[in-house]
């Protein structure tokens, strides 16, 4: 077993004994290593930072492994995991944020059981690459009651610290599954929509009560393999009448507008 993993298992068991220990250089190195995807995958843990997100973590059904926090934070919170007291300077050393906060945590990733396709709207993401976009989409799915997101294997990993941050906690509530997207979609009975600039006008297109909406990669849109399976394409028309406008909307923004239209009309 991995050395540092051993260390963590021990630290979980004896829990708050560590509360007054300083972070050793070794621990700083170990915690920092979770900035890397390879470490996250090997150790099956990920970074959660800041008051709001760590509080959401501790209230969720995700399991916290370690919390690193200032004395002030520790005085006001009682997480059920190993707790390390640290100075703001030491937290900054393991932080992935531009403005580190007074609490940083490691949590176990979760392999969520696939739930059968729910009624209403399901989102499918075909190669979303930007962590900010992925996090924003998870956050808006939570808002719009989209309880499950199906991601192609080419999508950015949801445990990337920038994704986690951009979800603002929604990562603890929305199920996200990585699948072979074309193979998955082929098996579904639900009508499949894809956002495409040549599609039907979303504001006037008839929409069903149940639908899968596929959003494509930031630069390349929907992949050929997925395009071949899609039943209908839709787009958000530009209201710009100058003849000169942006070629497209940001994918998270487009997802928001399409979810808004689908859900509004599913009422």
Binding stretches for its own copies (CB under 8 A): 132, 136, 139-140, 142-145, 147, 166, 168-170, 173, 203, 236, 238-242, 244-250, 252-253, 256-257, 260-261, 263-264, 267
Q: Which DSSP string corresponds to 195-260?
A: EEEEEEETTTS---SSEEEEEEBTTTBS-HHHHTT-SEEEE------SS---S---HHHHHHHHHH
Q: By the 8 A CB rule, do 83 and 16 touch? A: yes
Q: By the 8 A CB rule, do 214 and 226 touch? A: yes
Looking at the Cβ atoms of 111 and 246, the one nearer to its own copies is 246
Looking at the Cβ atoms of 114 and 143, the one nearer to its own copies is 143
Q: Quick one: 165 exposed, middle or buried, by C-beta within 10 A (0-12, 13-18, 19+)? A: buried
* CA 112 remoteness from chain centre: 13
Report, in Å, the least distance between residue 166 CB and its own copies: 8
| DSSP class of 23 | P
Report, in Å, the least distance between residue 52 CB and its own copies: 9
Report, in Å, the least distance between residue 186 CB and its own copies: 28
Looking at the Cβ atoms of 141 and 192, the one nearer to its own copies is 141
Beta bridge partners of 204: none
For residue 124, the surrounding DSSP H or E stretch is strand 121-126
Report, in Å, the least distance between residue 261 CB and its own copies: 7
Q: Which DSSP string corresponds to 132-164?
A: HHHHHHHHHHHHTT--EEEEETTSPPTTSHHHH
Looking at the Cβ atoms of 20 and 115, the one nearer to its own copies is 115
Report, in Å, the least distance between residue 259 CB and its own copies: 8
Looking at the Cβ atoms of 38 and 99, the one nearer to its own copies is 99
The whole-angstrom separation of Cα 264 and Cα 148 is 18
Report, in Å, the least distance between residue 241 CB and its own copies: 6
Residues constituting the chain: 267
Looking at the Cβ atoms of 19 and 266, the one nearer to its own copies is 266
The three-state secondary structure class of 153 is coil
Report, in Å, the least distance between residue 132 CB and its own copies: 7
For residue 178, the surrounding DSSP H or E stretch is strand 175-179
Looking at the Cβ atoms of 86 and 256, the one nearer to its own copies is 256
């Amino acid at each position: 077993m991995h050395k540092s993993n051993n260390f963590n298992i021990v630290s979980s068991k004896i829990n708050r004994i560590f509360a007054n220990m300083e972070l050793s250089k070794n621990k700083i190195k170990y915690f920092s290593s979770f900035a890397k995807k390879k470490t996250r995958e090997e150790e099956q843990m990920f970074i959660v930072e800041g008051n709001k997100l760590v509080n959401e973590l501790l209230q969720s059904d995700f399991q916290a492994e370690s919390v690193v926090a200032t004395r002030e934070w520790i005085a006001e919170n009682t997480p059920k995991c190993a707790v390390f007291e640290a100075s703001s300077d030491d937290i900054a050393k393991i932080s992935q944020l531009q403005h580190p906060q007074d609490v940083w945590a490691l949590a176990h990733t979760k392999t969520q059981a696939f739930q059968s396709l729910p009624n209403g709207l399901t989102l499918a993401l075909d190669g979303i690459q930007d962590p900010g976009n992925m996090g924003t989409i998870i956050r808006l799915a939570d808002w719009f009651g989209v309880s499950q997101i199906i991601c192609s294997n080419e999508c950015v990993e949801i445990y990337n610290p920038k994704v986690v941050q951009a979800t603002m906690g929604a990562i603890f509530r929305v199920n996200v599954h990585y699948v072979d997207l074309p193979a998955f979609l082929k098996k579904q009975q639900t009508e499949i929509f894809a956002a495409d600039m040549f599609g039907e006008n979303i504001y006037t297109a008839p929409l069903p009560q149940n639908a899968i909406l596929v959003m494509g990669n930031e630069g390349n849109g929907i992949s050929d393999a997925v395009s071949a399976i899609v039943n209908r394409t839709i787009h958000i028309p530009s209201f710009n009448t100058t003849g000169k406008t942006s070629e497209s909307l940001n994918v998270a923004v487009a997802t928001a507008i399409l979810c808004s239209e689908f859900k509004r009309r599913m009422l």
